[in-house]
A and B are shown apart, each in its own frame.
Chain A
Amino acid sequence: MEQETAKPPIIRSVGVDGMLVSFADRLSEPANRAALALSAALERENWDGVEEVSSSLVSSFVRFDPLHLSHADLREKLAALVEGCEWRAAALPEGRRLWHIPTVFGTELAPQLGQAAEAAGMSEAEAVKSLSEARVRVQAIGFAPGQPYLGELPEPWDIPRQSSLTKRIPEGALAVAIRQMVLFSVSAPTGWQHVGQTAIRLFQPEADQPFLLRPGDEAQFTPVDAETLASMRSDPKGGAESEPIR
């Protein structure tokens, strides 16, 4: 692990019009912190020829116009920015929020709590306690609109994804594997294990703020019963509340 984080970040091209700065080849808190902080810095830099910045679990991505900014020039600018700061220890982006998200753990709404708890070596009650007490970070948003990868969960949750896919997991489902959680913004097939159900709508195309969560936000999943969750269905946030992180 120490060796992992000591590696210098690598800069590689993505297709013809992308460049990627990667801080590791496996997920770690410092690598994720670096990706979030560098992406925020790149947004602030606002270089000519750069069209879009995003961050993934351990990388910052830049989409640019190679007809107006050469690969060599962009690589040089990125290398200089990367070397100018210890990104793995950098402050996380400004404006982050902590979300409290009401969640039904287990029951017929989240039928895989039992098997996931067993894989983690816990009773169902211990699993609910562990998952609801964990304060997790939005490490990245990706795959589907507004859908977060959340982590890192305590060590016992280093459980594999299922080899056979669940055909359909519903919108708002909370699923675990490999010390991470995914909170589903759409109904989708998945290998992640369905341990909780929320009423949150992460992607609301008609709203002023169509994407509820931002990379770097944190979340905690508050246990509620099915009746309480049902009463929160009319709220697009599904009863979720946020507070600024200072």
Chain B
Amino acid sequence: MSRALTIGRVGPGVTLQDEGRAGYLGFGLSRGGAADRLALAEGATLLGQGRDLAVLEMAGMGGDFTAEDDMRIALTGAPMQVTLDGAALAWNASHAMPKGAVLSIGGARTGSYGYLHVGGGFDAPKRLGARGAHLAAGLGAPLEQGARLELGEDRGRGTGLTLDPGERFGGGTVRIVESFQTALFPQDEVARFTATEFRRGARGNRMGVPLEQEGAGFTLEGGRNVLSDVVVPGDIQMTGDGTPYVLLAECQTTGGYPRIGTVLPCDMPRLVQAGPGAPLRFVFVSLEEAVELERAAARHVETLDKRLSLLLRDPQRMADLLSYDLISGVSAGDTHKH
């Protein structure tokens, strides 16, 4: 019998995710995969395993998970309320989860997408080369109560490590490059776009998120007559009413709404993690700068293991631990006296 994790109560947006399916753009299927690819890498580093393994992505809300066997877990992405058998647990860290233990993950404290990784990854069958759900394409579906998730073989060992995710869960400034359609917009509209502080809209899903603001919509003459052409994740398209909409991992592959710019892949984690209402600003960088920023981001991912540190106890648990240590220290001292 393979090792497994079973799901109790669960939020509506919990899906298996991985690096997605590249290679099907010409057939109308976008890559998909984890919304926050950096979180995927962080979890893999915490557990000392490959980035290609499947994880659970939790949109805004987690669930209850029971271990059928001893396993290692890691928690990354948007920090969420979490306990293991009732005791608070550190986010952005790896932990041992013993057989029978219940991991209870609640709402996101900040950010949008939290991730639960297991040693060995989740071992669901691959469809079109990947395990991740692509909801827009009807590949896979959100997980439901009672589901039993089998685990792959865990070749790694060790827990109790932590990794600083940096500050990327509260919105902020996101870097973009010009799209091949940026020039369709009047210059003053482009200037107004970069001068505007937006809020991440409350609607939104793995296909895209709207950007809200108080001012007039962003328009261009003849915008409705643009011929449909290639769409890529990160594109900021102007819908009919002038509301900008940032396209994400499960976006369509072609589209007719004009695009004012495209978010750098290395800034997509910040963009997707901005929770509803979080402030977002956009700044253009040159293509040359963008490539150097991507190079630095790739180096950051490759050297994540150098940033691992031992997990210090949660302050919440510190009181218990201190009293425990005190007692054991006293008894140890007693032993020595005798």
Contact = CB atoms under 8 A, between A and B. Distances in A.
Contact of B232 (A14, A27, A51, A59): A14
A70 B287 CA distance: 10
B139 to A, nearest CB: 6
A206 B136 CA distance: 16
Contacts of B22: 51-52
A226 interface: no
Contact of A71 (B128, B136, B291): B291
A52 B232 contact: no
Counting chain A CB atoms within 10 Å of each CB, the highest count among B22, B228, B252, B291 belongs to B228
Contact of B28 (A57, A63, A145): A145
A15 B262 contact: yes
B230 A56 contact: yes
Interface string A54-74: 111111010100110011000
B177 A54 contact: no
Contacts of A215: 26
A57 B27 contact: no
A147 interface: yes
A176 to B, nearest CB: 16
Interface in A4-51: 12-18, 20, 22, 25-27, 39, 51
A108 B336 CA distance: 91
A17 B31 CA distance: 14
A205 B27 contact: no
Nearest to A202: B28
B29 A145 contact: yes
A186 to B, nearest CB: 7
Given A12-B180, A54-B25, A54-B26, A144 B227 contact: no
Contacts of A27: 227
B138 A205 contact: yes
A209 B232 CA distance: 25
The size class of the interface chain A forms with chain B is 35 or more
B259 to A, nearest CB: 9
A22 B229 contact: yes
A66 B294 contact: yes
Contact of B290 (A16, A20, A63): A16
A53 B253 CA distance: 12
Interface in A113-129: none
Contacts of A51: 22
Contacts of B254: 56-57, 140, 142-143
A154 interface: no
Interface string B219-243: 0000000011110101100000000
B262 A61 contact: no
Contact of B180 (A13, A17, A54): A13
Interface string B17-39: 00000111111110000000000
B26 A67 contact: no
Closest 10 CB pairs of A and B: A142-B254, A54-B26, A12-B180, A15-B262, A54-B25, A145-B29, A211-B27, A61-B230, A141-B28, A16-B290
Interface of B: 22-29, 127-128, 136-139, 177-180, 227-230, 232, 234-235, 252-255, 262, 264-265, 287, 290-291, 294-295, 298
15 contacts: A12-B180, A14-B180, A15-B179, A52-B26, A53-B26, A54-B253, A55-B26, A56-B254, A67-B298, A142-B228, A143-B254, A146-B28, A203-B137, A205-B128, A205-B139
Given A53-B26, A205-B137, 8 more contacts: A15-B234, A15-B235, A20-B230, A56-B254, A57-B228, A144-B137, A203-B29, A205-B128
